[in-house]
């Protein structure tokens, strides 16, 4: 299996895990229903027509198509990067996580008109916005990209100091 196909497989696995978890929640919860699991974590079915932190959730419906188009364009760009630079392992793992998450949320937009969120963390009466596994893939991928950029900068400085 080539490195390129491994990155695509990782993206597909994120998409698959995200959709499987959402189907499980949809089969067992009504919108707004919550299941308290710990003093700081609930499962709660929420539909989000917007993006992260419900950005543009109150828009008139055009945001669905905007976010779908954005996910497709970004995914195509990521595939081209994975194809052209398979040796950039850390960066490509991050990109694959982002692509899998973006596509997972895109499936929701097409199937339900909104993103299915269900992971609800809270502390002392303050709730983090409810999210899903696709959002986690996007967030972890973005964090890995930042770490990769920092490590690449450090490596360039060390190389420049040796010359």
Q: Where are the domains of the chain?
A: 3-156
pLDDT at 59: 55
> Which of 18, 117, 120, 148 does the annotation list as catalytic?
117
| Helix (H), strand (E), coil (C) string for 104-146 | HHHHHHHHHCCEEEEEEEEECCEECCCECHHHHHHHHHHHHHH
Q: Which residues pair with 46 in a beta bridge?
A: 117
pLDDT at 125: 85
Q: Which residues pair with 38 in a beta bridge?
A: 41
pLDDT at 63: 72
Per-residue pLDDT of the chain (163 residues; tens, 9 = 90+): 899 999 999 999 999 999 999 999 999 999 999 999 999 999 999 999 766 655 555 556 677 788 899 999 999 999 999 999 999 999 999 999 999 999 999 999 999 999 999 999 999 889 899 999 999 999 999 999 999 999 887 666 666 665 4
Task: Identify the H or E element spanning 34.
Answer: strand 34-38
pLDDT at 159: 62
Tell me the helices (H) and strands (E) count for the chain, helix number first: 4, 4
Q: Is 135 a catalytic residue?
A: yes
pLDDT at 1: 87
**Which residues fall within 8 angstroms of residue 11, CB to CB, at 6 or more apart?**
78, 96, 97, 99, 100, 103
Q: Is 18 a catalytic residue?
A: no
Alpha-carbon dihedral 13, 16, 20, 26, rounded to 10 degrees: 130
> Which of 18, 120, 135, 148 does the annotation list as catalytic?
135
Q: What is the pTM of this model?
A: 0.87
pLDDT at 19: 98
């Amino acid at each position: 299996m080539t490195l390129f196909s491994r990155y695509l497989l990782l993206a597909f696995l994120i998409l698959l895990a995200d959709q499987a978890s959402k189907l499980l929640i949809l089969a067992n919860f009504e919108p707004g229903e919550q299941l308290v699991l710990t003093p700081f974590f609930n499962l709660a079915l929420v539909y989000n027509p917007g993006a992260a932190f419900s950005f543009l959730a109150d828009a008139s419906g055009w945001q669905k198509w905007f976010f779908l188009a954005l996910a497709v364009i970004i995914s195509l760009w990521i595939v081209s990067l994975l194809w052209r630079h398979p040796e950039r392992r850390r960066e490509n793992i991050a990109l694959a996580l982002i692509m899998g998450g973006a596509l997972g949320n895109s499936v929701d937009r097409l199937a339900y008109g909104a993103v299915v969120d269900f992971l609800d963390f809270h502390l002392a009466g303050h709730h983090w916005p409810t999210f899903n596994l696709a959002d986690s893939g996007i967030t972890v991928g973005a964090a890995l990209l930042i770490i990769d950029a920092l490590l690449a900068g450090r490596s360039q400085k060390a190389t420049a100091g040796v010359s």
